[in-house]
Structure 1
Amino acid sequence: MKIFGREPAAVLALFAILVKLAAAFGLDVSADVQASINAVAAAFMGVFIAAVTRDGLGAAIVGFAQAALALALGLGLHWSAEQQAVVLTAVTLVVGMWDRTQVTAPVPASAVNKPTVTPVS
């Protein structure tokens, strides 16, 4: 898979360098916030790749939500651990409910061998 003719890792590396350049030339953020911004970018890329390949989208969305919350906390969001847990639980629940509608059994129910009970004599 290519993005702008490049591998996703190359695009992420470019983004990380652009964040560092912005911080070096005027963007007033700490190293922790830079790391959080790059984590959100990586999580977003994970969601994008999962959507394109149709593989593991739910897990990628939950990871993105975790990274976005970490960035928000780094930028000054003042939520307690309980509030964070409730929000991430809600995200996980919604994703799980959506995943359930997307999953199908690899074989039809009629193909599963049902155990037979042997009468005891």
Structure 2
Amino acid sequence: MRTPLFFGREPAAWLSLVAVLVKLAVAFGWNASPEVQAAVNASAAALMGILIALAVHDGLGVAIVGFSQAGLALAIGFGLDWSTERQAVVMAFVTVAVGMWDRTQVTAKIPQKQPLPLA
């Protein structure tokens, strides 16, 4: 299967552009730590994962959970002061919500067995 294209370019080219823009912003005065820069790049990669999952119609739930994790890491990098317990609860909610949505989107390849009639 061919890799989906966005705006006529490969997804890796767009991620490279984001990485260079982050470096350019830092070079011209954005005071971002290496951790924040990494979180921005990770969030961009996670967003690209969602776009690719949408384009190929496969694995969207996993891409959404990954994007949520990257977004949370980015928010913490920018100063969100959440305990690890709060982060875990939020990510558990996202995972369960995505799982519930996935359940409505998937059809089993094998039909469900019919219960035996009671005699």
- Aligned pairs for 1:59-98 within 5 A: 59-98=62-101
Which aligned pairs between 1:108-119 and structure 2 lie closer than 5 A? 108-109=111-112
Identity of aligned residues (%): 64
Q: Give the Cα–Cα distance (whole angstroms) in 2 for the partners of residues 41 and 87 of structure 1.
A: 20
Cα shift readout 1:49-88 (whole Å, capped 9, x = no counterpart): 1011110000000000000000111110000010000000
| Counterpart for residue 117 of structure 1 | none
2:35 maps to 1:32: yes
| Paired amino acid for 1:23 | V
How many equivalent residue pairs? Answer: 110
TM-score normalised by length of structure 2: 0.88
TM-score between both structures, scaled by the size of structure 1: 0.87
Q: Distance in 1 between matches of 2:101 and 2:36?
A: 31
SS in 2 for 1:2: coil
Listed as ranges, the gaps of 5+ residues in structure 2 are 114-119
1:102 partnered with 2:105: yes
Superposed displacement of residue 26, structure 1 = 1.4
1:105 deviates by 1.2
The separation in 1 between residues aligned to 2:111 and 2:92, in whole angstroms, is 32
Structure 1 segments, 4+ long, off by >4 Å, are: none
> Aligned residue for 2:49?
46
Q: Partners in 2 of 1:109 and 1:91 — Cα distance? A: 28
Give the CA deviation at 1:34.
0.5
Structure-2 residue corresponding to 1:15: 18
1:2 offset after TM fit, Å?
A: 1.1
Cα distance in 1, alignment partners of residues 61 and 112 from structure 2: 25
- What is the RMSD of the two structures over their aligned residues, measured on CA atoms? 1.1
Paired with 1:83 and 1:109, the residues of 2 have a C-alpha distance of 38
